[in-house]
């Protein structure tokens, strides 16, 4: 039971949601120097360069895979472009044993954890070496070894799952937590509210990390909610909350390091809202010229999170233009070579379509598999990738 709070009013007065406007944490200025009085997160040269390598890799991967989609080599792709600081800054504050439950645009976090170029390619080409056995659309990565839960397409499902997973970590007495990425659009799902309330009431060590990138496909954030973004909702649920400049790598790292410390020490959830911008299209199926202006994109390109972070690295004397060119050339070569290999690897056998859910394949699935196989036998030219394997 809740007592009536002691604080009282004798005049009827409404409180506006905007009474609670949260400030935005910033550390790095546009020229790569720190804001006066800003504090550095815990970062040394090795971590700083590891973070940058994931930025560079993700830029190359995104550019090449979008091209591969345009060439008809893969069916679909989603870029992280513009949100690298939000994603990598968050991942870099975690321990490797912390669980990450992502939405789909967070491939940079997976690279930071050690997912190899070959593993990325096997997933995107849905070949028989894919960890997900070729059953998911491109970009629905997952890795048990790297504590990265496989992506689910329906928006928001990972949010209550993250609360539940973190509750399990708490019950097991683990010194680990779960970080859950989601977009501001996904925060309109009922699952967002269920997940945050569950985590708050049961004090689950979950970091809810909202990438507020301004759009949910063509829906701008100002048509998504009427309040001051996502952050005040955390306060409403009784969750400690911080808003951060999502294009500022050092600020995201600082916010997430603090969130991790609080979540583990106090065994409670924390909400982070990272303010950013999706520089690319929503996906390879989207054309943003229909719903936003070129001027707006140009403005945000001036806040490129990777460029800002690189300036800081260079100011430390930790990175040079020559090293940069070399690294990007190396990644381009690596990605291209991996594409050429992965696209030649065989598809998984058709029979694998009906395994892994039931101990024994039920009759109706066995029948459906036979129907698929007979279709492939009848039209081998349309099913070249699997035609040779239909008997498996």
Q: Does 213 bind ligand TPP (CB under 6 A)?
A: yes
Size of the site for ligand TPP (CB under 6 A): 15
Give CA–CA dist 229/98, Å, rounded: 27
Examine residue 312 and tell whether it contacts ligand TPP (CB under 6 A): no
Up-side HSE of residue 241: CA atoms within 13 Å toward CB? 22
Q: Within 319-378, which residues bind ligand TPP (CB under 6 A)?
A: none
- Kindly state the smallest distance separating residue 185's Cβ from ligand TPP, in Å: 3
Antiparallel, parallel or unpaired: β 219-220 and 215-216: antiparallel
* DSSP alpha helix (H) spans, the chain: 45-70, 84-91, 107-113, 117-124, 158-171, 190-201, 231-236, 249-265, 294-301, 305-315, 321-342, 363-378, 384-387
DSSP letter (8 states) at residue 109: H
Looking at 27, 155, 159, 252, which residue binds ligand TPP (CB under 6 A)? 155
CB of 291 to ligand TPP, least distance (A): 12
Contact 207, 260 (CB under 8 A): yes
Write out the two tokens for 307: 């460029």
Choice between 105 and 373, CB closer to ligand TPP:
105
Tell whether residue 277 is a contact of ligand TPP (CB under 6 A): no
User: In the complex, what is the shortest distance from the CB of residue 59 to ligand TPP, in angstroms, rounded to a whole number?
Assistant: 17
Please tell me the distance from the alpha carbon of residue 124 to that of residue 119, in angstroms, as a whole number.
Answer: 9
HSE (side-chain half, CA atoms, 13 Å) at 279: 21
- State yes or no: residue 185 binds ligand TPP (CB under 6 A): yes
Contact (CB, 8 A) for 61 and 120: yes
Active-site residues, by number, are: 278, 282, 291
Instruction: Decide: is 153 part of the binding site for ligand TPP (CB under 6 A).
Output: yes
**Half-sphere exposure of residue 21: CA atoms within 13 angstroms, side-chain side:** 4
- The answer to whether residue 282 forms part of the interface with ligand TPP (CB under 6 A) is yes
Asked if 194 interacts with ligand TPP (CB under 6 A), we say no
Please check whether residue 88 is in contact with residue 53, taking contact to mean a CB–CB distance below 8 angstroms. Answer: no
Give the interface segment with ligand TPP, choosing from 149-157, 170-178, 234-242, 302-310 (CB under 6 A): 149-157
Q: Which residue is nearest to ligand TPP (CB)?
A: 183
**Under rule CB under 6 A, residue 154 binds ligand TPP:** yes
Q: Which region among 25-33, 208-216, 294-302, 346-354 touches ligand TPP (by CB under 6 A)?
A: 208-216
Judged by CB under 6 A, the residue of 113, 278, 303, 310 near ligand TPP is 278
Report the interface residues with ligand TPP, using CB under 6 A: 105, 153-155, 183-186, 211, 213, 215-217, 278, 282
């Amino acid at each position: 039971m809740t007592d009536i709070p002691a604080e009282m009013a004798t005049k009827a007065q409404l409180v506006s949601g905007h009474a609670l406007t949260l400030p935005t944490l910033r550390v790095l200025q546009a020229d790569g120097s720190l804001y006066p009085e800003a504090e550095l997160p815990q970062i040394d040269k090795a971590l700083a360069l590891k973070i940058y390598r994931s930025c560079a890799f993700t830029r190359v991967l995104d550019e090449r895979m979008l091209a591969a989609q345009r060439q008809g080599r893969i069916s679909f792709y989603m870029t992280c472009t513009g949100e690298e600081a939000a994603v990598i800054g968050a991942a870099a504050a975690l321990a490797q044993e912390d669980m990450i439950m992502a939405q789909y645009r967070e491939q940079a976090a997976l690279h930071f954890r050690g997912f190899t170029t070959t593993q990325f390619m096997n997933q995107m080409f849905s070949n028989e070496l894919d960890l997900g056995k070729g059953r998911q659309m491109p970009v629905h990565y997952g890795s048990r070894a790297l504590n990265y839960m496989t992506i689910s397409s329906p928006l928001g499902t990972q949010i209550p799952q993250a609360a539940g997973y973190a509750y399990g970590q708490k019950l097991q007495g683990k010194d680990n937590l779960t970080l859950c990425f989601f977009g501001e659009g996904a925060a309109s799902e009922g699952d967002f509210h269920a997940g945050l309330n569950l985590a708050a009431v049961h004090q689950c060590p979950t970091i809810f990390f909202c990438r507020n990138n301004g759009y949910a496909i063509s829906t701008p954030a100002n048509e998504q909610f009427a309040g001051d973004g996502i952050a005040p909702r955390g306060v409403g649920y009784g969750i400690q909350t911080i808003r951060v400049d999502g294009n500022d790598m050092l600020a995201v790292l600082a916010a997430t390091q603090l969130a991790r410390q609080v979540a583990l020490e106090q065994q409670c959830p924390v909400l982070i809202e990272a303010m950013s911008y999706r520089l690319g299209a929503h996906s390879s199926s989207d054309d943003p010229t229909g719903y936003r202006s070129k001027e707006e994109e140009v403005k945000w390109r001036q806040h490129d999170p990777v460029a800002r972070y690189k300036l800081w690295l260079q100011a430390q004397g930790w990175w040079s233009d020559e090293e940069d060119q070399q690294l990007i050339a190396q990644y381009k070569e690596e990605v291209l070579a991996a594409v050429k290999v992965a696209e030649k690897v065989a598809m998984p056998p058709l029979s694998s379509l009906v395994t892994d859910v039931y101990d024994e394949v039920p009759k109706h699935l066995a029948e459906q598999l036979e129907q698929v196989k007979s279709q492939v036998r009848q039209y081998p030219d349309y099913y070249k990738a699997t035609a040779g394997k239909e008997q498996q």
